[in-house]
Structure 1
């Protein structure tokens, strides 16, 4: 496949890029500025200077099999990176004739924003980023695309375990987490063999 990765230089995005390449896919890495990946790494870097730049993204997507969004906002203060990036992506994908979108969101948004200990904790720590995910998701579900919205719990940077548990009704506990490398594996698994089209799978290790 040809896989376009939004947020390709982020902590999760880099794992998506490397995992896709390891599996033999062509990767189009959307980057703020060129030169983020060594030539030997293999992705085709395409400059996407601003997440509101629809035209730059549209030019990058023809021939793409799937768009995987690993966009994330600033760790502190208000952020709209996910919302604006997905708004641009939906428009660009329709213009380029690309139908498959897999986006990383977060457990604890919208209907999972409840009184559980996990939800209370995550909103207490990164509320602005959660709000950005909450305004992003409706853009995806109303897009008419073949979408999957992945809602992981806390992300960690440990080495890949090589297995995960996923499901739409998976119970997320206060201590639940998933490594970014294993999350990337799930995203590529879903791209290769769709199981959760028009669904919101959760994932834990």
Structure 2
């Protein structure tokens, strides 16, 4: 597949890029600084630019069989990075004619906000980040794309195990965890198979 990845320099994004290349895909990744993704590969094209540059973003999405968005706010960044990023990416996909989108959200967003006392507590602790995920989900749902929202619980830096569950009604619970490597593997599989098009899927160990 030809893949466009946004958020490639993040912890999950790097796993995505590495696993996509390992699987034989062509990858185009938007980065703010070329040094942020120290991976050299003949099937990887790194595009330096910002999400606020429509022509560059649509160029990244051009010809993509699937667009994968794993944006997330880092310390000190604006809390609306996911919402504003999704707005730019959706516009770019419409311009480029790209249809398939797999976007990273979080368990506890939107209608899962009241899933448990633990989730309600988490939403208070990281309120701005969760509101950002809510906003992103609303934009994606309102689009006419073939989208999938992926909602993991707490993410870890563990190894790729291949042992995880996925489902639209899955409830991870307080102990729910998922390694970023397994998250990347699931998102790549979903981009190719389209099992959850038009749905929000929870993925957890």
TM-score exceeds 0.5: yes
Distance apart, 1:188 and its partner CA: 0.6
Q: How does 1:1-205 map to 2 (within 5 A)?
A: 1-35=1-35, 36-40=37-41, 42-49=43-50, 51-75=51-75, 79-114=79-114, 116-205=116-205
Change (3 A) 1:76 1:172: farther
RMSD over equivalenced CA pairs, Å: 1.6
Shift of 1:20: 0.7
Partners of 1:20 and 1:27 within 8 A in 2:
yes
CA contact (8 A) 2:159 2:181 kept: yes
Return the offset for 1:41.
Answer: 7.8
Summarize deviations over 1:119-156 as a string: whole Å, max 9, x none. 12321332211111011111101110000001111110
Give the Å deviation of 1:75.
4.0
For 1:169 and 1:41, the matched residues in 2 are separated by 40
TM-score by length of 2: 0.94
Consecutive unaligned residues of structure 1, counting only runs of 5 or more, are none
Residues in 2 aligned to 1:170 and 1:146: alpha-carbon distance in whole angstroms: 22
Unaligned runs of 5+ in 2: none
Cα distance in 1 between the residues matched to 2:126 and 2:59: 34
Between the two proteins, the alignment pairs up a number of residues equal to: 204
Partner SS for 1:201: strand
| TM-score (ref. length: structure 1) | 0.94
Aligned partners of 1:6 and 1:192: how far apart in 2? 17
